[in-house]
Amino acid sequence: MIEVEAIASSSNGNCYRLISGTHELLLEAGLPLKAIKEAVKFQLGRLDGCLLSHEHSDHSASVAQLLHAGVDVYMTTGTAKALSEQAKGACVMLKGDDDAYRAFSIGKHWTIKPFATYHDANEPVGFIISDRDDVLLFATDTYMMPPFSVKAFGQIMIECNYLPERVDERIASGDISSKQAARLLHSHMSLGMCLDFFRRNAKAVSYCRKIFLLHGSRANGDARIFKEAVQRETGKPVIVCTP
Ligand SMILES: [Zn+2]
Ligand SMILES: [Zn+2]
C-alpha cells in the first residue's frame, strides 16, 4: 500500500513523497533542497529514488543537488537534455521499439511505467507506479490524458489546474493576456478535462481508494469547486493538494 504525502503542489514548486512500508520514493524535485530534506526528516538516504516529470523549475529546482547527494533521479532523455549540466549522472528512462516507454524497476519494490503527457516541455511524462499491492497514477502538467489500458487504479494523483470561465474573466479584466491564456490551455489540465478522464476510465477508477488533485491555480481555479465536482463524478474521497 502506498501512502501519499504532498509536500508542495503548485507552479511555485512540486514535490510528493510516496511511502510504502520501509520504502520511499520522491515525485518531483521542485523545491529548494532544504525544504525537501525537512520533508523527508533529513533522511535522503532512505529514498529509493526520485522521478521527474519534466524540466520546468517548479518540478526540477534541486535535481542537481539531489544527484550530488547520491539520490537516483529518473527522467526522460529529453528532460535530461533540457536540464543539461543539472542532470549529470541522472538515470534515463528508455523507450522500446514501439516508441512506448519501457516499464522499469527501482530495487525489488517499485515498478514504474512512464507515459507521454501533453505539456510545453521537451519530453514530459507521467507515471503508473506500483508497489507489491497498489497501483498509483501520477499525471501533472498535461492538458489532456492519454488512453490507458490499466484495469484498476488504487490511487490517482492528477492535475486539476483551472476553470475556463475563470480564465475568461481574467482575460476580460486585463489580468492576463490572451497569449498567456492560450499557453495555459495547451499545457495544463482544466477541471473539464480532468472530469473527462474520470468518465472515460470509470471502470478502472471505480476501484480507486483516494484521488489527489494537483497543481491547482489559485488565480484561475477554485479548490472547493474542484473537490466537489470530482467527488460528485467519482464518489471517491478527494484531497486537493494546495500549495
Ligand atoms: Zn508545473
Ligand atoms: Zn511545467
> Which residues are near ligand 2, the ion (C-beta closer than 5 Å)?
56, 141
Residues 76-106 pLDDT 10s: 999 999 999 999 999 999 999 999 999 999 9
Mean residue pLDDT across the chain: 96
Give the integer Cα–Cα distance in Å for 160 and 197: 11
Task: Give the Cα separation of 17 and 76 in Å (integer).
Answer: 20
Give the per-residue pLDDT at 132.
Answer: 87
Distance 8 CA to ligand 1 centre (A): 11
> 158: CA distance to ligand 2 center in Å?
14
Q: Is the pLDDT of residue 243 over 70?
A: no
Determine the distance separating the centroid of ligand 2 and the alpha carbon of 59, expressed in angstroms.
7
Give the distance (Å) from ligand 1 centre to CA of residue 1. Answer: 27
Q: Given strand 125-130, what is the order of strands in its sheet?
A: 104-106, 110-116, 125-130, 135-139, 155-159, 210-214, 238-240
Q: What local confidence, expressed as pLDDT, does residue 9 receive?
A: 96
Which tens digit of pLDDT belongs to each residue from 119-174? 999 999 999 999 989 999 999 999 999 999 999 999 999 999 999 999 999 999 99
Residue spans per domain, the chain: 3-240
93 touches 72 (CB < 8 A) = no
Q: Which fold has domain 3-240?
A: Metallo-beta-lactamase; Chain A (3.60.15)
CA of 188 to the centre of ligand 2 (A): 8
